[in-house]
Each structure stands twice: as structure tokens, then as C-alpha cells.
Structure 1
Amino acid sequence: MDETAHALGASRTLWELVGRRAGLTPDRPVLLQGDRTLTFGELRDGAERAAAGLYGMGVRPGSVVAWQLPTRIETVLLSFALARLGAVQSPVIPFYRDREVGFALRESRADFFAVPGTWRGHDHTAMAERLGARGVFEVYGTLPDGNPGVLPPPPADGTAVRWIYWTSGTTSDPKGVLHTDRSLIAGGSCLAHALQLTSDDVGSMAFPFAHIGGPDYLVMLLLYGFPAVLFEQFAMETALPEYRRHGVTVAGGSTAFYSMFLTEQRKVPGQRLVPTLRLLAGGGAPKPPEVYHAVVREMGVQLTHGYGMTEVPMITMGAPDDTAENLATTEGRPPAGMEIRIVDPEGKPLPAGADGEVRLRGEAVCQGYADPAHAADVFDADGFLITGDVGHLRETGHLVLTGRMKDIIIRKGENISAKEIEDLLHQHPAVADAAVIGLPDPERGERVCAVVERRPGTDDLTLTSMSAFLRGEGLSVHKLPEQLEVVDALPRNDALRKVLKYRLRELYG
């Protein structure tokens, strides 16, 4: 990391980081979207005016403001306006619906809720009203506006909880993950350092800004002073012209994105898909080694993949100058300040090469969960986050993940609770019992597979009818199973008759 980026990384708060970057390079672009460009100076000034407008609406330091907005320049401005005020933000992925949104609003006790109105055919305002949300206001093409002279001083404490991000865990309800400005700055600093970027790079954000990766990526832009292209609704056929027009050098997001790039590259073998592109990077889902080798071989660019989660946005990352073997078969190494401990079932540290549970400690680690009921199993006695993931460290410090103790499915970088889908399937009149598993998928990382026992005397269950039922029960589209297997009996153990999911994974994987 260069000296300027290192100094900026010591900022106490995100707003301090914005101000320091804007003071250094006010006229350099930070966000590119279509024909629009936002500079670092405009980010600071526009966010401050929006903060004044929010203040006039009654938003105060400590107010909880949920927002469910697409990835737009206005969304980034709103988020930094809230950071200027010292409000507590609760970003919600824009394609979530009543079940998840209602839970997030209740759990966070949101005082205000920003929505885009009707977006992609869904009336978010009507949903907010249906859920009884407080302080609903619309943000899409315009923002609240006011005189910054009315604002109180910006927050100075970077260790106060000001962010609640939502993730699905082993239960049917999501968990609200508590973050501070400093934990997000630390995560973004780790990512920037690992990727070895410079001010000459041009990045891209194909994933939702409401994801934990949103501020992670923005911190990287602020540290190094380079821009990124935003996509409100990502589709490769419309994104490629934008990559080329803006000269993107760094792209990616997750395994699904690598696969999309490969699909397009194979349509024009021997040609550079994006002439300026030099690096694909991402995380959030398993990466098969063959995907790494195909990207390097067919696209002529480097691929670095990492390990992160909502609780810790950047844990390890492959470095562009690492060996091909490490880049293909590991999750990379942790940056300075991130401790990884591999432990046995009793919590005792294991040596390099031994598989065990992965535990983490460092500034980028979250402060816990919004629900105090989850507090007991968040950290161990030494302050390490208990991840539930299984893996081992090599002698070189590279992390290899080999499984998960948590029963979650990671599809395109998003955590999906198997239990949530199972609970809904049990309400289907044709289903006697159900097990939902994740299966390896080269495009999605994992795909969702539902294995069901059909109730005697009922009609055959099809994937189409099952999907229609789940959508009718309010399940988000991105959680719908892509595969259905109907069986006479699920495999179970002899003691408590628990379903043996590992046998299902062996059978259908």
C-alpha cells in the first residue's frame, strides 16, 4: 500500500476519509454510471447537502435509517450523507421482499426507510406501507437537499456501531451484523492492499451497493483515488460496452461473474474481451480451480479470489503476484492485522495442514449481532469470531476452505438458509418431508437443490409448480431452487432419524 493510502486508511470515520480524499483530488472521478460522472469533491459536497436535507426531515445522529435502493450514484450519496450525520444505516438488498424486509425493519427498529418507489416492476413504497414502516421516503433520481450550515459536527468516533448488514445463517431468519466505520475501513484497506491497485486503475461494481462489499469497495476507491463503473442492473451484454468505454482494468465480483466473462470470451476466441482488463477479483462463493485456469488461459488476465463474509468483509485474498497453484487452490493469505486460528472441536489451536473450524480476530471483524440472543456463540473466550467454516492453513499462511459447519448455501455470493426453504416446502400439500442442499456449480458457486418426499396420493411435484408455490409464500427469487429431486424416502440416521444431507450431496453432486 502506498504512503498516501496508508495514511488515509488511518481515518477514524468514513466521513473523515471522504473529506481527506476530496481535499487531495477533488476533481478526479470516483463514480461512473452511463454518461454521468461524480468526482471526489462532488461526493463530499453532494453528500453534505443531502445530509442537510435529511436533517431537515428529522434524521439525527443515532437515528436508524434503513434503505433498500438499487446501485446508483444517488444511493452512494445517500449512504455517505448518513455517514456525515452519524446515523445508523441498515442497507437492504433491493430484490428482497416482504419476508426479509419486514424482518430487517423490525429487528433494526428503523426510524426511517428509503425506497426507490417502483423499481423493476415492484412497488417498494407500497410494500413499505404494507409492512408498517416508519418515515418512508423515496430516493431514485433526486435526494433530500438542504443547507449544510444547519448540520451538527460530523461524528468523531469510528468505533461506534453505525451499520447493520443482513445475512442468512443457519436459521430461517436473517441476522443483523453490527459494523463500525473502522471495521469497514479496515476491510476496504485489506482488499486494496491485497489487489495491489494504483490510482491509474478503473474498477467496477457489478454487485449491489447494499451488499457488505459496497462500502468495502468504496473505501478502496477513497484510499487510492481511482474510479469505478456502477451498474444499476447488471447484465453482461449491456455491461461489456461500459467496461470498454470506461477502460475498466479490474472487474469481477464472484465465481458467477468469472463464468459470465468466460462465456462471452468463448464467443470471440483469440480476441481481448475488454482490451484494458488486467484483473478479475472477487469472493463470496467457492471457486473451482478449473475456473481460475480457464480465465488465465482464455482471457489472458489474472484472477485473484478471496474469502469474506458479512461479519468480516475481507479475511483473505489472493495476490496478483502469487503462484498459480496458490491462486487456483487457496483463498489467499490474510492481510496484516487479520488473525486466523484453526481449532479442533474443543477450541484448541491446530497446526498448519490440519483441518478444523476457522476463527478470526482483527479490526475488520464485526461487533456481533443485532439480536442479543445470538451473542452467546459469536466470539470465543479469546475474542475470535466463530465462523462455522472448516479449513486449514498452509505453512505459507494460505487458507484452504474445505467445508462449512453451518447449513447455508452460497449462491452467487449470497447466503441462503436451507431451513427457510425447507420450512416453506413443508407447507406444500404434496410434500411429506424436504431437505434443501447446496451443490457445486461452476457458474453460481453453489446451486440450490430441493430433495422432497412426496405425500402419498398427491400429484407429481414439478420444479415449475414448486417454484410458483415458494414465490407465492414470499420467498425471494434468488433463493428459489434450480433443481428438484423427488424421492420415496430421504436417507436418515438410525438414532434420531435425522436426514443425512451428506448422502444427498454425494448422490446429486
Structure 2
Amino acid sequence: MTQHTAKPLPPHPHGDAFPDVAEVWDLVCRRADATPDAPLVVDQDRRRITFGQYRAAAERVAAGLAARGVRAGDVVSWQLPSRIDAMLLTAALSRLGAVQNPLVPMLREPDVEFICRQAGTRLLIVPGEFRGYGHGAMADAISGRLDGLDVLRTDAGLPEGDPAGLPPVRGPEVRWLFYTSGTTSEPKGARHLDSGLLAAARTFCAALEPRPEDVVAALAPMAHVGGVLHILAALLSGTSLVVSDTFDPAETARLLSEEKVTLGGSGVPFIRAFLQVQRAAGPDARFFPHAKCWLVGGASRTPSFHAQVRDELGGVGLVSGYGLTECPFLSWGRLDDDDHAHATADGRPGPGTEVRVIRSDGGAAGPGEPGELRVKARQLMVGYVDSALDADAFDEAGYFRTGDLAVLDEQGRVTITGRIKDVIIRNMENISAREVEDALDGCPGLADAAVVAMPDEATGERVCAVAVAETAGRVPALADVCEHLLSCGLNKRKLPEQLEFVEELPRNAMGKVMKNVLRERFTAH
């Protein structure tokens, strides 16, 4: 069968003012020279900095870090909340040519120690405490077990110095180590180049075409690869960001409303919360009159949810992107896509990205035919920190195996349909967990739900739905849930045989449900 490939997004001039830039610090300087007084970011405390102030402050922090002994090539791990300081640190480490390893704040001692040990971290930068957790005490404990690991607490702010004595910018080719969340195994570290991350940010810019007058809600953790890419996209396009170190639905909605956000987000859990805030305020109080769209990525959604967002929060509704730590912004939708694409698809690949879909029999899938999505791209990692993982990660043609099931349509749009490992095999028949989850959306009495495979002596595996009740203390019966699913057209063979309830679904930093946690909990139960 002839290989069906996606037509990538063309570059867009408004989204990338510096197409020749290949290094992050060069981009910081070019943007500061071009629009020094334009706003870059506002945080939850209404602190603001411009692009020019960003470069100047980052250089002072770079000098302070250099005075502590940080040199080009040193691995610096940092675990900071989504504040302006985290943005300054990112630029400062780029100025020094250090290898930076951002760690999302939700990671705890075992994962942080594993990562620092494997990455060869020289300096670990943390707050003393954040949201009731002692990051400083954790870092001190880890440094006591790892020779050569220094700890810097940011309680009094980042160190600063005179940038006049900074050496020229230099450093290794690989300057970024991003680790997967480790929800199914030990964390895996993806090695990235500056040019690769810039290629990912250019995918966002090519699709969304952000302009200097746009305001982007950058609510993903700053230490997540998506958080860093929001910074780079702002530097490329001249748009401004709104960040917050914590999420409070009412307060965060007020912040985004005050700042006249145009590209809202970031992710399904945030947007569901904004819907509730909007509904509580009533239709006459429009929180987001300037919204062009609402950005989601890495989470399933339904056409009904898209319609709610479009009609109640505004803009074209949902616009989805898709990526992984290894290839972070593989595809993005566009504002001018049709309504069906907004509701169901995950966009087209970015410039310099090649994708293919491979059936389970190894053949190339045609349009609309499902299979594993595989990719070659400028933004693709250059390999894992543990190089032993590379052999299984790439196929014989050099394409990265994403592990995600997808289809490509005739226009080359990618639609993610689930994970290869997120299939329930009952009586030797495959059941897509995502298909059942989509049918559960809108089920009376359920506010949220996930579907996992549970071991079963008779059938091998059974379908287990884990849900959050819409009203505490009032949970629907399994029979009622199954009746709803049948009314939605779900095949009887795919109905859940087990229904469990939790106060909230466990999610990682990007809002993805950690199904291994649910599986372990209810297998033991």
C-alpha cells in the first residue's frame, strides 16, 4: 500500500520573526532588540516584565549563577513553580550554555533523586517550600546521597551579579533534558537541542499565528516542555503570556479576563473549571470576550464538550495539539479549521515533520485507517539519557514509535484515538478505553470518568470505569451507566463490568489521567 502522509503546516511570517535563529539565547536577544518595551508576561500577582527587561534580568541571574560556579555544560536541575523567576532561570541557563533539566513541581523525592543521579546533576534549584511540600528538605536529603550535588534554594530569589564579566555564550549541542512523568515506569529522559525546541515552538506559531497583540494563557507547568515552549513561542512571535503558580478557578479566570486573553487554555481540566465559573456568573457576564480559541493537548475530548466551550466560553471553541516529551508539539490545529476538525482532530504536523501510521500487521495505513503514529521531525529528541532505550524507541526506518494510535484524514490531519497500551483485551477482543470514555461524557450523575483494564480470571481483562460523581454522595448504579452507554450506541460487548468512584481522578502535570494509579488501587481493592 502506498504510504499516506500528512502535509505539514507551512511556516507563517507573523508567527516567526526570526527564522534563522537556532539558539535560545540568541532568540532572547533578538526579541529584546526588536521590541524591548513590549510586554512578555504577567503573573498571578500582576508582576509584569517586558522583553527588554527579560534579557537584562536574565543576564544578571546568569552572572549570579556563574559566581556560584555554574559553567557551560554543567547539568542544572530546577524544580520551580510557574513564576517569572522560572522564566528568568531558563534564559539565564541558556546564556551560560548549561544543560538544564526542568522538573515539574509534582515530582517527589524518589523520582527527583533518580533523575539527578542519571542526569549527573551538579546543581539542584528548588523553593524551600511550595504548596505545603518541603522541596528544600527533599533536595538536602538527596544531596546527602549524591556526591557533587549542590543545592540552591530560591526563598530569597535567584542570585544576581554583574553580567559584564560573563564569558561568551558556548555549550554542548544537547542543552535540555526533559523527563517523562514516570507514571508507568521509571522516568525517561529525552535529550533535546535548542534548535529542536525552537522547531516545536515554530509549529505552534505556524498553526495558531500568534501576533504581538495576542495574549496566551500559559497555565501548563513552566517546568514542563510545553511550558518552556510557550516562552519560546512568545519570543518568536512577540505575543505576551499570562502565568500562574497555582490554579484557582475563580481567581485564574479573573486574571485571564483582566488580561484580555485571546488564546485560552491550557488543557481540558482548566477549561472545564472555566466553564463552571462562566455558568455560575450567568450568560450576561462574559468572562472571555476576547477569546479566539481554547487550547488543549494530550487529552481526549468530545464534540459535545467542544460545543459547550465554543458557545459558552467563546471563540471557535477547542483547538487541539498533540505531542510527547520526545516530540513536544508534533501537530496543532488552526483557527480556520472547520468545526468538525476543532471537535475531533489534533491538527497537522509542523514544518519539517514527517509522520506515518503503521497498522498492527506492519503495513502502511491508508486515510482513516488506524495504526501506530510514528514520526521524524526537527523537534524530535536526539535520544534518551539512557541510550539503551533508543533501540526500541525507533523503527528500522528511523521513525520514532510514539505508542499512540492515530488516523490521518485526506487533508493530512492527525487524530489520536488512544494508546496502544490503553486497549482492554476481553475474550481476545480489543476494546478501546478512549471509545468508552468518550461515550461516558455527559452520562447523568458523572462529572468525570476514566476507563482502565482490570485483570479477570474468566475473560483475561474486564472494563472498569472509574468516575467522579457530579453530586457528592449521589452515585449512579452500574446498570444506569450501562443504559446510558447503550443509548449512545456503544456495543454491548464494550460495556464496563466494574464501576468505582473517587473524589478526583489522579492526573499528571499536563492533566492526563494516571491510569496506573487507578489500576493499582482497584486491583488491590
Kindly state the Cα deviation for residue 13 of structure 1 after the two structures are TM-superposed: 0.2
Q: TM-score, normalised by structure 2?
A: 0.78
Contact 2:39 / 2:240 at 8 angstroms: preserved in 1? yes
Does residue 291 of structure 2 align to residue 281 of structure 1? Answer: no
Q: Match for 2:347 among 313, 322, 332?
A: 332
Q: Match for 2:258 among 245, 256, 259?
A: 245
Partners of 1:237 and 1:109 lie apart in 2 by: 41
Kindly state the Cα deviation for residue 209 of structure 1 after the two structures are TM-superposed: 0.2
Partners of 2:131 and 2:451 lie apart in 1 by: 24
SS of 1:392's partner is strand
- Please name the residue that 1:82 is paired with: 93
SS of 2:118's partner is helix
Partners of 2:357 and 2:160 lie apart in 1 by: 50
Q: Match for 1:231 among 228, 239, 244?
A: 244
In structure 2, relative to structure 1, the CA distance for the partners of 1:240 and 1:488 (3 Å cut) is closer
Paired AA for residue 146 in structure 1 = G
Please list the CA deviations of residues 380-423 of structure 1 after superposition, one character each: whole Å capped at 9, or x if unmatched.
232211111111111111112222124599xxxxxxxxxxxxxx
- Please name the residue that 1:322 is paired with: 337
In structure 2, relative to structure 1, the CA distance for the partners of 1:214 and 1:300 (3 Å cut) is closer
In structure 2, relative to structure 1, the CA distance for the partners of 1:373 and 1:217 (3 Å cut) is same
SS of 2:203's partner is helix
Contact 1:170 / 1:408 at 8 angstroms: preserved in 2? no
For structure 1, the residue ranges without an aligned partner over 5 or more in a row are 410-436, 454-462, 472-476, 490-509
- Please name the residue that 1:16 is paired with: 26
Contact 1:60 / 1:85 at 8 angstroms: preserved in 2? yes
Kindly state the Cα deviation for residue 22 of structure 1 after the two structures are TM-superposed: 0.3
Contact 2:73 / 2:171 at 8 angstroms: preserved in 1? no
Kindly state the Cα deviation for residue 478 of structure 1 after the two structures are TM-superposed: 8.3
Map 1:47-446; keep pairs closer than 5 Å: 47-132=58-143, 134-155=149-170, 160-168=173-181, 171-271=184-284, 272-302=286-316, 303-345=318-360, 347-406=362-421, 440=437
Contact 2:174 / 2:192 at 8 angstroms: preserved in 1? yes
SS of 1:361's partner is strand
Kindly state the Cα deviation for residue 451 of structure 1 after the two structures are TM-superposed: 5.1
SS of 1:105's partner is helix
Contact 2:253 / 2:274 at 8 angstroms: preserved in 1? no
Kindly state the Cα deviation for residue 214 of structure 1 after the two structures are TM-superposed: 1.2
Q: TM-score, normalised by structure 1?
A: 0.80
SS of 1:309's partner is coil
Kindly state the Cα deviation for residue 169 of structure 1 after the two structures are TM-superposed: 5.8
Partners of 2:299 and 2:193 lie apart in 1 by: 24
Paired AA for residue 258 in structure 2 = R
- Please name the residue that 2:480 is paired with: none
Number of residue pairs matched? 446
Contact 2:262 / 2:290 at 8 angstroms: preserved in 1? yes
Kindly state the Cα deviation for residue 274 of structure 1 after the two structures are TM-superposed: 2.0
Contact 2:358 / 2:371 at 8 angstroms: preserved in 1? yes
Partners of 2:49 and 2:206 lie apart in 1 by: 24
In structure 2, relative to structure 1, the CA distance for the partners of 1:41 and 1:49 (3 Å cut) is same
Contact 1:65 / 1:88 at 8 angstroms: preserved in 2? yes
Kindly state the Cα deviation for residue 326 of structure 1 after the two structures are TM-superposed: 1.4
Partners of 2:399 and 2:107 lie apart in 1 by: 31
Contact 2:375 / 2:400 at 8 angstroms: preserved in 1? yes
Contact 1:308 / 1:315 at 8 angstroms: preserved in 2? yes
**Which one scores higher on RCO, CA 8 angstroms, separation ≥ 6?**
2
Kindly state the Cα deviation for residue 171 of structure 1 after the two structures are TM-superposed: 4.6
Kindly state the Cα deviation for residue 275 of structure 1 after the two structures are TM-superposed: 2.5
Kindly state the Cα deviation for residue 336 of structure 1 after the two structures are TM-superposed: 2.5
In structure 2, relative to structure 1, the CA distance for the partners of 1:450 and 1:405 (3 Å cut) is closer
Kindly state the Cα deviation for residue 43 of structure 1 after the two structures are TM-superposed: 0.9
Contact 1:203 / 1:249 at 8 angstroms: preserved in 2? yes
Contact 2:75 / 2:120 at 8 angstroms: preserved in 1? yes
In structure 2, relative to structure 1, the CA distance for the partners of 1:131 and 1:448 (3 Å cut) is farther
Kindly state the Cα deviation for residue 319 of structure 1 after the two structures are TM-superposed: 0.8
SS of 2:280's partner is coil
Paired AA for residue 8 in structure 1 = F
Kindly state the Cα deviation for residue 96 of structure 1 after the two structures are TM-superposed: 1.2
In structure 2, relative to structure 1, the CA distance for the partners of 1:308 and 1:408 (3 Å cut) is farther
Partners of 1:71 and 1:478 lie apart in 2 by: 21
Partners of 1:249 and 1:81 lie apart in 2 by: 29
- Please name the residue that 1:420 is paired with: none
Kindly state the Cα deviation for residue 379 of structure 1 after the two structures are TM-superposed: 1.7
SS of 1:177's partner is strand
Contact 1:191 / 1:220 at 8 angstroms: preserved in 2? yes
Partners of 1:164 and 1:224 lie apart in 2 by: 25
Contact 1:69 / 1:210 at 8 angstroms: preserved in 2? yes
- Please name the residue that 1:501 is paired with: none
Kindly state the Cα deviation for residue 17 of structure 1 after the two structures are TM-superposed: 0.5
Please list the CA deviations of residues 104-135 of structure 1 after superposition, one character each: whole Å capped at 9, or x if unmatched.
11111101100011111111111112123511
SS of 1:152's partner is coil
Contact 2:210 / 2:237 at 8 angstroms: preserved in 1? yes
SS of 1:51's partner is helix
Percent of aligned positions with the same letter in both sequences?
Answer: 37
Kindly state the Cα deviation for residue 282 of structure 1 after the two structures are TM-superposed: 2.1
SS of 1:341's partner is strand
Please list the CA deviations of residues 227-271 of structure 1 after superposition, one character each: whole Å capped at 9, or x if unmatched.
111101111111122112222111101121221122222223423
